[in-house]
Amino acid sequence: MLRLGLYQRYLMREVLAAVGLVLAAFLALFGFFDFIDELRNVGKADYGVAQALLFVSLSMPGLVYELIPIATLIGTLYALSTLARHSEITVLRASGLATRDLLLTLFRVAGLLALLTLLVGEALVPWSERVAQELKARALSRVIAQQGFGSGIWVKDGKSFINIRSATPDARLEQVRIYRFDAENALQSVTDAATAEYDAQHGWQLHEVVRTALAGESARVERAASEWWQSAVTPDLLSVLMVSPERMSLFGLVNYTRHLAENRQKTGRYEIALWKKLLYPLTALVMVALALPFGYSHDRVGGVSLKIFAGVMLGIVFYALNGLFSNLGVINAWPPFASAAAPSALFMLAAAGMLWWVERR
């Protein structure tokens, strides 16, 4: 920072302050709405106001990760519009500041914000999301679950302990082992199933079942092609114990994608999420480039409010396109990189076109 020119430090300070203010406002707004949404669960089982507040607090890193690009766009728009309203941009340009130099200064700001996005997305979001969902699951249900062991997911359901080696988002379990205990905590039986599929009416259907029943000092082995298993464990419960692909770390995405590929399963959703994790921090660069043309206008009355409104609309469009292209990529089997990069590429083209038009004027 000491090597930067005076105008560069001034611009960076103004833009970072505006982005920080917008991000704080968004976090307060979305955090309030999330808390209101969680109030419908307050009073169920052991879920109280304290648990709701803790859940919302743990969800904040995820909001920071998602909102940094939009806050960058709106904050940069606000800072540049304010400088233009006070004719500071005009003075800088009259002093010989080229658009390229101004854009490079904004890219320095975007680089810091991109680094922040990467750190939050890798260091905080996967952990906080998993802890938040496990906290909510424990408070809302008597079923207690924990994941992260090398042996898979362990679930307690009444007097039974269930070990699930892997669970997929399409309500399919693999390598299920159920330990049943009696009222005196003596082991009654051990049931192994190769796979399990969920039906909303009947529960879980176990396939390739092998049960070892214990009675005193004797044991009896029973086999069945399939059977139904009633349990409080549901796909909804398991899903909250598994961080969504968009909230997983790069390391976790790479490992799970490799696991799916080795088992000849579809990897499109996770490959798109992987590319989005790599490209998402760079959207801050796109946002400052998109905001720069607005700094060259000189509206003194109502201009700032209008530009902030335009920034909000552009942010909503970007967020919608980001989700749209991800879903279309999964449905139509588009190349993962193209699906993840398309929204940012479209906005960068729009920014380049607007800068060219401003320079022509």
The mean pLDDT of 50-76, rounded to a whole number, is 92
Cα-based torsion angle of the residue sequence 260, 265, 269, 270 in order, rounded to the nearest 10 degrees? 10
Work out the number of other CB atoms within 10 angstroms of the CB of residue 112: 15
Q: Quote the radius of gyration of the chain (alpha carbons, Å).
A: 26
Percent of the chain with pLDDT over 90: 33
| Number of residues that make up the chain | 361
Give the best-scoring range by mean pLDDT among 35-39, 153-157, 317-321: 35-39
Triad 84, 89, 90: Cα angle to 5°: 100
Q: Are 132 and 41 in contact (CB under 8 A)?
A: no
Tell whether the model's pLDDT for residue 301 goes beyond 50: no
Q: How confident is the model at residue 2 (pLDDT cuts 50, 70, 90)?
A: very low
- The predicted-structure confidence for 228-245, as pLDDT tens digits, reads as follows 998 877 776 665 555 677
CA-nearest of 339, 315, 313, 341 to 327 is 339
- The predicted-structure confidence for 4-41, as pLDDT tens digits, reads as follows 578 888 889 999 999 999 999 999 999 999 999 999 98
Q: For the purposes of burial, counting CB atoms within 10 Å of the CB of 250, is it exposed (0-12), middle (13-18) or buried (19 or more)? A: middle
